[in-house]
Amino acid sequence: MDNSRKNDTQFDLELEELEKELEFKLDDYDVEYPSELEMMRTIEAIKPFVPVKENRWKSYMENIVPLIKNSYQEIFYFSPLFWIVNSLFLFICIYAVFIAEQDPYVTLMLFAPLPTITGLFEILKSRITGMAELELSFKFNLQETILSKMMVIGVFNIGINLVAMVVLSIFASDVWAGKMLLYWMTPFTVITGISFLFANRVRHVHAVTATLVVWLGAGVFLSSEEVIEKVESVPAAVYVLMIITGIILIILQASRFYKRGTDYEFNH
């Protein structure tokens, strides 16, 4: 026990002597502090490399403007059949209400997502023709190209549905525009959100064809009086909730789509 204490004391003395020796040697070194002018020069030199807080709104606008311009260019690459078919759907919608005397609300509900569903053929066209790999080498990558096409389809869908809604509101009797807006927005937002999932995962046009057939088949089911009464008895709050859910789904899917595109550009 006494030996261990003696060893500890001896170690402490040696350590103290070593510290004094090092302090003595370090005293020979003088540290010259920079002048205030030199410090300011250094600060100015590194300022360009200091990260600036990102303005999210400015960054969003810088990203969205090129997509909008690209969307305008994509209009001219859409097949004429897309415009013809959807114009025909509009004619059938108006005919069903005024000639066949179908319920205007249910008719517009069935018509609302049709331009989006048929637009999926245009989105998958590059994959069908084997051009998807080539599009990856373009200025706008595949994800951004699909987003641009979705913008075209979305704007066209809104425009053609507004035309149908205005025509039915003016010329059809006992039609409430607000109620028609709910019946239009509900399938439009939900189907558009689901369309992003289709564009991201579906590789074959058969799935889109099946979706179109199923939706048109639903029209036959909804044409019965009992089903129409049940649809119209659904509270407006349910439709509003479905619209909000659809909008959230669209935003999430579009953001994920764009992020995948930017990640691809960063890694390649």
Whether residues 41 and 60 share a domain: the answer is no
pLDDT at 240 over 50: yes
Average pLDDT over residues 239-254: 86
Whether residues 168 and 116 share a domain: the answer is yes
pLDDT at 243 over 80: yes
Q: CB pairs under 8 A, 24+ apart, for 173-176?
A: 175/104, 175/105
Which tens digits make up the pLDDT trace of 177-214? 788 888 888 888 888 887 777 766 655 666 667 777 77
Exposure string (b/e) for 190-220, b if CB count within 10 Å is 16 or more?
bbbbbbbebbeebeeeeebeebbeeeeeebe
Whether residues 61 and 45 share a domain: the answer is no
Range of the domain at 223: 56-267
pLDDT at 58 over 50: yes
Whether residues 36 and 77 share a domain: the answer is no
Q: How many CB atoms lie within 10 A of CB 1?
A: 5
Whether residues 181 and 237 share a domain: the answer is yes
Using left for φ > 0, alpha for ψ between -120 and 50, and beta otherwise, residue 10 falls in: alpha
Whether residues 87 and 216 share a domain: the answer is yes
Whether residues 141 and 234 share a domain: the answer is yes
Handedness of CA 148, 152, 157, 158 (dihedral sign): positive
Whether residues 19 and 109 share a domain: the answer is no
Whether residues 7 and 113 share a domain: the answer is no
Total domain count for the chain? 2
**What pLDDT was estimated at residue 132?**
53
Tell me the backbone φ, ψ of residue 262, rounded to 5 degrees: -70, -35
**What pLDDT was estimated at residue 37?**
84
Give the CA distances from residue 259 to residues 147, 236, 262, 263, 264, in Å, rounded to whole numbers and listed in that order. Answer: 11, 35, 5, 6, 8
Whether residues 90 and 166 share a domain: the answer is yes
pLDDT band at 264 (very low <50, low <70, confident <90, very high): very low
Whether residues 235 and 125 share a domain: the answer is yes
pLDDT at 90 over 80: yes
Whether residues 90 and 205 share a domain: the answer is yes
pLDDT band at 131 (very low <50, low <70, confident <90, very high): low
Q: Which of 173, 187, 175 is nearest to 111 (CA)?
A: 187
Asked if residues 124 and 199 have their Cβ atoms less than 8 Å apart, the reply is yes
